[in-house]
Structure 1
Amino acid sequence: MTLDAHQHFWNYDSLRHEWITPQMAKIRQDFMPEDLGTLLRKNDIEGCVAVQVDQTEEETLFLLGLADAHDFVKGVVGWVDFRDENVYKRLDYFSQFEKLKGFRHIVQAEPDDFLTRTDFVQGVRHLSEFDFSYDILIYPSQLAAAAFFVSQLPDVRFVVDHLAKPDIRTGAIAEWSKGIKRLASFPNVSCKISGMVTEADWQHWQPSDLTPYLDVVVEAFGTQRLMFGSDWPVCLVAAEYKQVKDSINTYFSTFSATEQQAVWGENARKFYKIEL
């Protein structure tokens, strides 16, 4: 099965989606499964995982509704408040939804030490009891805290979104490389090859700009802990869906068939426990 392990749906609202700046005007509109389905078929992708962008339980239920209505939406990464004293009860409630695979918090918008906070760590600890995973969304400056976070939670399955957003635009790589390799040293951590074009120069990026960063994560995680994600529709500010896919496809074209199958879907299927 080929899978896009990271994309989003929304009904655009200027207040709820205030993170979409004027420079990102191209995505100031609705993006729904009907829009993505055609792109997946054209690019030989059989399914996708829809990931939250709003930090509300309503968002989680919205995505689950879309997944129920569209078979190609194979999984959902939602949101709960892990700092809430009732988080166990909320996870118990959400465990009834077959397509809900895991959760995410937009940590990139939090202080750099956020992932070291005891209440958050304790909340995320409950995920393993329900066999849910956790998506780590951070900037490079938060990699040290992420390593501490993961070290406290050996029973939780983690995946790093967007390679932890290295600064591809400027070519900065050394400190990010150290941090991502430290995070990769934990065997329960995987990484999404996603969100790279939006960390590069939106107007002038080339596939070769991505290569040094791909080299690092391949060395750090191996091909058995990497998964493709388009980050559609956010990617559209820098590239069309096909351009994103083609750039990754070119990089992995010399890898073995088994390794390519792993990156293009098998790893995501296993991580998110998606049935064939």
Structure 2
Amino acid sequence: MTIAFVDAHIHLWELARLDYPWLTPPFDESGPNGSVAGIARDFTVADYRALMADWHVVGAVHVDAGAAPHHALAETEWLEGVADAEGLPSGIIGFAALNDPSVGRLLERHAAYPRVRGIRQIVNWHPDPVRSYTPRDFTTDEQWAKGYGLLARYGLSFDLQCYPGQMAGLARLIERHPDIPVIINHLGMPVLTDLDGIDDWRHGLRALAALPHVAIKLSGLGFIARDWTIGRVRPFLMEAIELFGTTRCMVASDVPTDLLFAPVGRYIETYRDLSAGFSEDERRDLFGRNANRIYRLGLDL
């Protein structure tokens, strides 16, 4: 692929450096993503570059990698040092628990690092405990909404990883804060086993897409179905692009997490083939220019 690729969602880790509870044995199939044993090893910039050698990567955004909350700032500090030495990542999305009444202090410290662009707190909650990433739906808490509102004070965006059933409520909050850019992770994670899972996803995305400061990542296909096929995921990808337009969608590899479900080449080839009928400008937007603009990376594209 000769079009410049700014990978909008990657993870790096050195497991001996920070605590990563979700990457710590024992592993089993009980969590939302099944066993993560296959990726529970160091993943460095060198590993990333080797994996992505066939794709013209010119930048990448690191999104919080699930380090223990007490290591949130340590992860950012480490990543800044990595970027100074290796040239990647180009931007950093740190972790902060927005439901913490004292979160403002952490946001201020994150924002002091030059490559930090935003915050992610995974908020996927589902009535089925096996599906949930959180013990309760934080997005319905007044304290969480207050923490979310503080992001603008520090010039931070929000990476939104939620389930479709949470989107309508979140859309009302997000609408009240047009100065906080929001980037939906992993196509909005439709839950196909829910009775109305596709309709819930469609209605939720429509509510969010109506807000001009919301964008979406074309990533995480294994979260739709671990055994995903191009035919199965193509309608979701095309509908997301139709709803958000080619100026608010970003291709992302989500490595190494997405490697749990398929080789990276299968993902990138899927996105490339999907966009084959688009104009060159549209493809350049999807693969690089949107991520560069939305995450304010300042790359020369």
When the two structures are superposed, what TM-score results if normalisation uses the length of structure 1?
Answer: 0.90
Evaluate the alpha carbon distance shift between residue 97 and residue 91 of structure 1 in structure 2; reply closer, same or farther with a 3 A threshold. same
Letter of the 1:269 partner, please give it: N
**Residue of 144, 151, 154 corresponding to 1:127:** 151
**Residue of 131, 139, 152 corresponding to 2:176:** 152
Equivalent pairs, count: 274
Letter of the 1:174 partner, please give it: D
Partner residue in 2 for 1:5: 8
The answer as to whether partners of 1:168 and 1:209 remain within 8 angstroms in 2 is no
Correspondence 1:81 to 2:93 = no
Find the residue that maps to 1:180 and give its secondary structure: helix
Partner residue in 2 for 1:174: 199
Higher helix share: 1
Letter of the 1:217 partner, please give it: A
Partner residue in 2 for 1:43: 55
Q: CA RMSD in A?
A: 2.3
- State the distance in 2 between where 1:168 and 1:214 align: 15
Letter of the 2:198 partner, please give it: I
Find the residue that maps to 2:22 and give its secondary structure: coil
Matched residues, percent identical? 30
The answer as to whether partners of 2:152 and 2:180 remain within 8 angstroms in 1 is yes
The answer as to whether partners of 1:115 and 1:149 remain within 8 angstroms in 2 is no
- State the distance in 1 between where 2:63 and 2:266 align: 21
Shift of 1:269: 0.5
- State the distance in 1 between where 2:215 and 2:88 align: 23
Shift of 1:92: 2.5
For 1:227-246, list aligned pairs within 5 A. 227-246=250-269
When the two structures are superposed, what TM-score results if normalisation uses the length of structure 2?
Answer: 0.83
Partner residue in 2 for 1:34: 46
Correspondence 1:65 to 2:89 = no
Find the residue that maps to 1:107 and give its secondary structure: coil
**Residue of 93, 113, 124 corresponding to 2:109:** 93
- State the distance in 2 between where 1:66 and 1:24 align: 24
- State the distance in 2 between where 1:224 and 1:213 align: 17
Letter of the 2:120 partner, please give it: R
- State the distance in 1 between where 2:231 and 2:190 align: 15
Partner residue in 2 for 1:201: 226
Shift of 1:45: 1.6
Correspondence 1:269 to 2:281 = no
Range that drifts further, 161-170 or 250-259: 161-170
- State the distance in 2 between where 1:35 and 1:174 align: 39
